[in-house]
Amino acid sequence: EVWNPSGKYRVVSTKPMPGTRWIRLLTDQDCRVEICTEKKTILSVEDILSLIGNKCDGVIGQLTEDWGEVLFSMLRRAGGKAFSNMAVGYNNVVVGAANKYGIAVGNTPGVLTETTAELAASLSLAASRRIVEADQFMRAGLYDGWLPHLFVGNLLKGQTVGVIGAGRIGSAYARMMIEGFKMNLIYYDLYQATRLENFVTAYGEFLKANGEQPVTWKRASSMEDVLREADVISLHPVLDKTTYHLINKERLAIMKKEAILVNASRGPVIDEAALVEHLKQNPMFRVGLDVFEDEPFMKPGLADMKNAVVVPHIASASKWTREGMATLAALNVLGKIKGYPIWSDPNR
Ligand code: DGY
């Protein structure tokens, strides 16, 4: 699909993206926009090479693509200046290779914070109240009347939410769980989440003034403390060498038997095979997963686990957010082509 065919600058998007604002932004600034409409979901390096062709000023790409040495050197050869991932995470991008070839890299933070946090909160609730299991039970025609023990789950109020990685998304999630469900907070991060701490303190005082049990917060000195103490744990680190298999067999073993683990960050943060084993051994332990180690696949056995809620990497999938991500991705590329600083540069 081609927009503004006579545009001076050639910008390629490896996927159609929501909305038209991002296209207009580019075409209004003399860009020819080429959108790949190839049906297959995951494009190979070869597919992308042929999209880049001989002349390409910038590319908007997706987290399913491997942007490394080969693609950046070819983009450079085609006269390219910028690459923007339509995602906040850029573990699929070798930023060093982009730097080497003088290609600016952009990502799309900010616009997806609340949407992603809302999905992590949804997974927490779905797991704690066994929503998916109960839905399947209804649809299978198994409901034959109210029973005192039918689909009993956990009450979140007064329990402790554990956040590993209290950056933008982790903090937004924590606030939702604290304010929405009056949970206490324990978090682990290399940096102090001062605004989050201030929020919990102020909210605790508000509850107290209204005669309610105040919420509390604690910054854990080790991740293990979070795993041991929290009832619901949500993972929000970036994926890199230090966070690969952050949750492994040993760390699963120290979590509460009835804990809930949520992951809407990146799949390889959890050793998924160890998780499947843990779910089998601990039927009261529940997980809510948006991401998987070998996406789009699940490790054998996971799909059979009733104590797992699984969704296909949809954490940022609200209309507003996806249009915002597309717009930011376009702004990143446009900025560099026009010689302005790009909107969001993970190098900074
Ligand atoms: C991201 O942005 O990194 C998400 O995984 C997709 O929105």
What is the complex's ipTM, to 2 decimals? 0.96
What is the atom index within ligand 1 of the atom nearest the CA of 89? 3
Residues within a 6 A CB radius of ligand 1: 63, 87-89, 112, 316
The residue whose CA is least distant from atom 2 of ligand 1 is 87
Choice from 316, 321, 325 to test ligand 1 binding pocket (greatest atom count within 8 A of CB): 316
Q: Measuring CA to CA, which residue among 176, 220, 179 is closest to residue 201?
A: 179
pLDDT digits (tens, 9 = 90+) for 256-272: 999 999 999 999 999 99
Q: Measuring CA to CA, which residue among 46, 61, 27, 112 is closest to residue 316?
A: 112
Q: CA geometry: angle at 325 spanning 324 and 331, to 5°?
A: 90
In degrees and rounded to multiples of 5, residue 14 shows phi and psi of -75, -10
Which of the residues 266, 278, 286, 322 is marked catalytic? 266
Q: Ligand 1 centre and the CA of 89: distance in Å?
A: 6
Cα separation of the two ends of the chain? 33
Q: Say whether pLDDT at 6 is over 70.
A: yes
Q: Say whether pLDDT at 347 is over 80.
A: no
How far is Cα 53 from Cα 86, in angstroms, rounded to an integer? 21
How far is Cα 37 from Cα 27, in angstroms, rounded to an integer? 18
**Out of 38-42, 50-54, 185-189, 322-326, least confident range:** 38-42
Is residue 266 part of the annotated active site? The answer reads yes
Is residue 69 part of the annotated active site? The answer reads no
pLDDT digits (tens, 9 = 90+) for 52-95: 999 999 999 999 999 999 999 999 999 999 999 999 999 999 99
Tokens of 256: 């509460």
Helix 131-139 and helix 113-128, axial crossing angle in degrees, nearest 10: 60
DSSP secondary structure code for residue 304 in this structure:
G
Instruction: Give the neighbor-by-neighbor strand order of the sheet with 217-219.
Output: 217-219, 184-188, 160-164, 232-235, 260-263, 286-289, 308-310
Q: Ligand 1 centre and the CA of 3: distance in Å?
A: 26
